[in-house]
């Protein structure tokens, strides 16, 4: 196998060479290097508009790459320790759905943790798969879902030994990492493929102080959001494959079902350059990133009433390892919710965090962060804490129990539906997803029975003005359930 020179960028270089040729464009996109949209040209600049081109001989074609895109994908596979890699321009959502559709056929089972992203449910619906949900561990003090226990996965494989795939999140949104190596071993002994959502772990392969990745422990496929933590443009991701449990040709066929025939060269070139960056300078840059993370936690934990959780969680249920770039800040003792904290930071201090929940806010620290920005965040949290003071916390909100699956997600998706007021939904079978976004983890999925606890939890999130998604009613006053309306 030829040695790859990661200082090179096959696709990005070809794109720049194409731009320098000043080819007269009688092809889409219709803005023709921006001349057809002067306002956009003025704002984004000539290079951006000239780089927004379509597939042609010197630039290859993403749907069937044979030259520079194929070469760039080979570079990605080598950098991430995979055997094959595929560019994605519809985010890791498309990669997760492609993994499930490649590994599981209609009617076959997939073992999946309850805290999986909504795209996983979409993949299950598209594949016609039957989900076997397993509980994630819950840290009740922090009020967050952690990883899934390897023992829980092993037990599920014993009960459902015909399951075609196990799905794992590595790491979770909050940074918790499951014992992925043990999970892979258990699954492979059963002849079951392992699919890994590494949307928030694209950086982990490039520094030894981060948890092991899916490819490093022998998982079959993973999807990585290079745009989240690897430096590429929003919506760009990669799908990684190794081993022979899932055929490359099957993956390509699945991707071509929903892959755009007009893949953005801006997005693909950004993957090419971010791969170069991570492969050549990733270790050095991530060392600085880790220093910032540790500096931030140290300062935050000196603030009374604030807890920035981190590696001390390793060894607790559901946390085999921890990704330190996920800066979770627990604010319950300040007498405010994470939702309120996020709003205060944005409106009064001009700081936007990644997400919030009832008790926490979460900031993601990446290659692009600076010490002065960390100081502004810490100083803002300290100022808020000083104004709020420390409160004795009595009421703890627990997440509702995992609901009962009555109908397969696909059957629920295609069944007749009717809208029912939220207060009257208990006992009905849900026909849509309900989730807080971010992180996009469903509270309930299609085919599951609604309970009073779930309804009360949704009401609480609404009261806190949390952003809710997944329902036909944008205000979540009505939920679609299975069954026909009167008169149908």
* 88 and 116 fall within a common domain: yes
The percentage of residues in the chain with a pLDDT greater than 90, rounded to a whole number, is: 87
Task: Please tell me the distance from the alpha carbon of residue 105 to that of residue 228, in angstroms, as a whole number.
Answer: 30
| Cis peptide bond prior to 438, omega within 30° of 0 | yes
**Residue at token pair 């895109």:** 69
Token pair in block for residue 319: 């946390």
Decide if 395 is inside a domain: no
What CATH number should be reported for the domain holding residue 185? Answer: 3.40.640.10
Task: Please tell me the distance from the alpha carbon of residue 117 to that of residue 114, in angstroms, as a whole number.
Answer: 9
**Residue (of 40, 57, 58) closest to 49 by Cα position:** 40
* 292 and 262 fall within a common domain: no
Task: Please tell me the distance from the alpha carbon of residue 256 to that of residue 438, in angstroms, as a whole number.
Answer: 28
Among 144-148, 214-218, 439-443, the least confident range: 439-443
Task: Please tell me the distance from the alpha carbon of residue 134 to that of residue 394, in angstroms, as a whole number.
Answer: 30
**Whole-number pLDDT of residue 468:** 85
**pLDDT band (50, 70, 90) for residue 488:** very low
Token pair in block for residue 435: 């989730």
Decide if 403 is inside a domain: no
| Cis peptide bond prior to 439, omega within 30° of 0 | yes
418: left (phi over 0), alpha (psi -120 to 50) or beta: beta
* 341 and 310 fall within a common domain: yes
Task: Please tell me the distance from the alpha carbon of residue 124 to that of residue 131, in angstroms, as a whole number.
Answer: 7
For 35, 140, 159, 198, 425, the CA distances from 458, given in Å and listed in that order, are: 48, 18, 32, 28, 12
Token pair in block for residue 77: 């596979």
Write down the H helix ranges in 160-264. 180-189, 226-229, 248-258
**Residue (of 290, 303, 296, 307) closest to 376 by Cα position:** 296
DSSP 74-104: HHHHHHHT-SEEEEESSHHHHHHHHHHHHH-
Decide if 133 is inside a domain: yes
Decide if 401 is inside a domain: no
Decide if 384 is inside a domain: yes
Q: From the centroid of its chain, how far is CA 333?
A: 29
* 349 and 469 fall within a common domain: no
State the residue range of the domain holding 320: 282-388
Note whether 450 and 420 are within 8 A (CB): no
What CATH number should be reported for the domain holding residue 448? Answer: 3.90.100.10
* 72 and 122 fall within a common domain: yes
* 308 and 432 fall within a common domain: no
Pairing mode, if any, of strands 468-469 and 237-241?
unpaired
pLDDT above 70: residue 487: no
* 286 and 417 fall within a common domain: no
Decide if 393 is inside a domain: no
* 214 and 363 fall within a common domain: no
* 236 and 319 fall within a common domain: no
| Bridge partners, 421 (sequence order) | 478
**Residue at token pair 């790491």:** 171
Note whether 379 and 349 are within 8 A (CB): no
**pLDDT band (50, 70, 90) for residue 470:** confident
Decide if 377 is inside a domain: yes
Mean pLDDT of the chain: 94
Domains of the chain: total = 3
* 340 and 270 fall within a common domain: no
The predicted model scores a pTM of 0.94
Token pair in block for residue 90: 């519809």
Token pair in block for residue 86: 């595929």
**pLDDT band (50, 70, 90) for residue 401:** confident
* 158 and 134 fall within a common domain: yes
* 297 and 376 fall within a common domain: yes
DSSP 8-state assignment for residue 353: -
pLDDT tens-digit readout, 62-118: 999 999 999 999 999 999 999 999 999 999 999 999 999 999 999 999 999 988 888
Token pair in block for residue 95: 């990669």
Domain-terminating residue out of 359, 388, 417: 388
What CATH number should be reported for the domain holding residue 368? Answer: 3.90.1150.150
pLDDT tens-digit readout, 291-329: 999 999 999 999 999 999 999 999 999 999 999 999 999
Strand, helix or coil at 371?
helix
Decide if 394 is inside a domain: no
Neighbours of 270 (CB within 10 A): 22
b/e code 434-459 from CB counts within 10 Å (16+ = b): bbbeebbbbbbbbbbbbbeebbebbe
pLDDT above 70: residue 166: yes
């Amino acid at each position: 196998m030829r040695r790859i020179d990661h200082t090179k960028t096959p696709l990005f270089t070809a794109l720049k060479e194409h731009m320098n040729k000043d080819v007269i464009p009688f092809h889409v996109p219709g803005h023709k290097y921006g001349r057809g949209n002067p306002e956009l040209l003025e704002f984004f600049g000539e290079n951006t508009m000239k780089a927004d081109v379509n597939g042609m001989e010197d630039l290859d074609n993403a749907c069937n790459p044979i030259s520079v895109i194929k070469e760039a994908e080979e570079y990605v596979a080598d950098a991430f320790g995979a055997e094959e890699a595929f560019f994605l321009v519809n985010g890791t959502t498309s990669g997760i759905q492609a993994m499930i559709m490649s590994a599981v056929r209609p009617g076959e089972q997939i073992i999946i943790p309850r805290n999986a992203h909504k795209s996983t449910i979409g993949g299950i619906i598209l594949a016609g798969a039957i989900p076997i949900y397993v509980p994630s561990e819950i840290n009740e003090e922090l009020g967050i879902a952690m990883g899934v226990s390897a023992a829980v996965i092993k037990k599920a494989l014993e009960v459902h030994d015909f399951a075609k795939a196990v799905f794992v999140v590595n790491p979770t949104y909050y940074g918790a990492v499951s014992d992925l190596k043990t999970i892979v071993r258990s699954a492979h002994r059963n002849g079951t493929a392992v699919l890994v959502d590494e949307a928030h772990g694209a950086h982990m392969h490039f520094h030894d102080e981060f948890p092991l990745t899916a490819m490093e422990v022998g998982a079959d496929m993973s999807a990585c959001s290079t745009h989240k933590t690897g430096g590429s443009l929003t919506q760009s991701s990669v799908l990684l494959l190794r081993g022979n449990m899932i055929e490359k040709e099957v993956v390509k066929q699945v991707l071509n079902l929903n892959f755009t025939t007009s893949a953005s060269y801006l997005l693909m070139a950004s993957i090419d350059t971010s791969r170069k960056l991570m492969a050549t300078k990733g270790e050095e840059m991530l060392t600085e990133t880790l220093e910032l993370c540790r500096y931030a936690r140290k300062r935050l934990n000196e603030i009374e009433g604030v807890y920035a959780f981190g590696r001390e969680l390793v060894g607790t249920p559901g946390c085999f390892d921890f990704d330190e770039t996920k800066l979770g800040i627990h604010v319950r003792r300040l007498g405010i919710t994470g939702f309120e904290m996020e709003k205060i930071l944005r409106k009064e201090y001009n700081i936007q965090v990644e997400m919030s929940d009832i008790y926490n806010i979460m900031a993601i620290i990446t290659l692009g962060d600076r010490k002065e920005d960390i100081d502004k965040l810490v100083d803002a949290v300290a100022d808020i804490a000083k104004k709020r003071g420390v409160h004795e916390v009595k009421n703890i909100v627990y997440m509702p129990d995992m609901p009962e699956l009555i109908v397969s997600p696909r059957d629920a998706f295609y069944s007749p539906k009717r809208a029912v007021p939220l207060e009257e939904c208990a006992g009905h079978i849900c026909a849509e997803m309900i989730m807080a976004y971010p992180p996009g983890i469903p509270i309930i999925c299609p085919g599951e029975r609604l309970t009073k606890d779930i309804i009360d939890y949704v009401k609480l999130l609404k009261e806190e003005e949390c952003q809710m998604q997944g329902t036909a009613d944008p205000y979540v006053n009505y939920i679609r359930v299975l069954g026909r309306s009167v008169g149908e």
